Structures are given as C-alpha cells and as structure tokens.
Amino acid sequence: MKADKRGGEFGFLNDGCAEGTLISKAAEGDDKAFELLMKAHLKVIYNYICIHVESKEDVQDLVQETMLGVWSGLKYFRNDSSFRTWVMGITRRKVYDFYRSRYKTSELTMPEDEGSLVSEDEPDRLLETLDVNSAVNRLNSMEQELVFLAFNAQLTYQEISEVTGIPLGTVKSRMSGVRSKLRKYLEKE
C-alpha cells in the first residue's frame, strides 16, 4: 500500500526520526520537530494549493495558513488516519475557505492553468508529460482533485475518501471513470 511506504519501512522520515515521535514533540511545542515533520509534506501541500489557486501570493498565503492550521491543530490529531491524510484535509479546507471568502467579497477569479502534476525535469519525457497534462486538464475539477490526491499526494482510496468526504465506493468508481477518460484522451492525442 502507498501509505505503508511513506516514511520508509518502519515509519521513519529521511532524517531517521519516527513520524509519530515528531508529531508528539511538535504537539508539545517543539519548533524543530514541527519543521522536520512538515518538511516531508510541504511540497505536496504547495502543489495541491497550486492546482486550485492561480496567484502566487495567494498560494504562499494559503501554504502559511495551512501550516498554522496544522501547528494549532496538532494537539487534536488522534492517529485515526495517516498524518498526510489529516494534513491534506486541512489543506483542502483552507482552499475552500479561500474561495468562500473571495465569493463573499466578489473577488473570485478562476485559474486558467491547473498546474503540472508531472515534473518536467526529464527532457526525454517532455512530450509525454505535455500529453498527460493536457489530458488531465480536460477533466473536471473534482476529477483533477482525485488524480492529484491519488498520484501526487499518494493517498490511498480510503484516505482520499476521508479527505474529501466522498464514500469509498464512489471514490473507486470515479477513479475508474477518470482512468477511462484519460486513456481515451491520451489515445486521441
């Protein structure tokens, strides 16, 4: 399972410290433990926000708000889900809050570019990346979110269900539909 592989075979982060230990220390106010803990999740948080928000300033603000939300909520983390699932839930709610506040003040602008789900640092795969990005961009926003959570955030279907509030069977069904659509789009291109 994807969730079992994150943090290594024994739940250790790259620096050799157990994620559970860092969570406990950070919940007690240890800034260094929080920094180490969030280092493993920051890129996923940033990329998730980027696919939903166009302005770089707003992205930075939302990353900061998410980090503050995680910091202030650590004492409430109960290990009912993986830490990443919990963090992605907070991130998702911050994005929704952002759009709710914009809607109330009528400053809403829809993003034109949904961002890249695949890194472009492999030159030989650039055309394939462009095809995949083009196909993903043709999906509706909910389907794009499911693709991001499954492939970029590497959440299991159960974790996606917990983050989105969509029943597990519906997540599986929608992902099956997404795979079919992507296959069809990529065959045409």
Pick the CATH number of 1-113 from 3.30.70.260, 1.10.1740.10, 3.40.50.200, 3.40.50.720: 1.10.1740.10
Q: By C-alpha distance, which of 1, 87, 83, 19 is closest to 47?
A: 87
Where do the structural domains in the chain lie, given as residue ranges? 1-113, 115-189
Q: Are 164 and 145 in contact (CB under 8 A)?
A: yes
As assigned by CATH, the class of the 115-189 domain is: mainly alpha
- Each of the 189 residues of the chain gets a pLDDT tens digit; together they read 344 444 444 344 444 468 889 999 999 999 999 999 999 899 999 999 998 888 999 999 999 999 999 999 998 898 888 899 999 999 999 998 888 877 665 444 444 444 444 444 444 454 555 567 778 888 898 898 898 888 888 889 999 999 899 999 999 999 999 999 888 887 875
> Residue 77: what residue type?
F
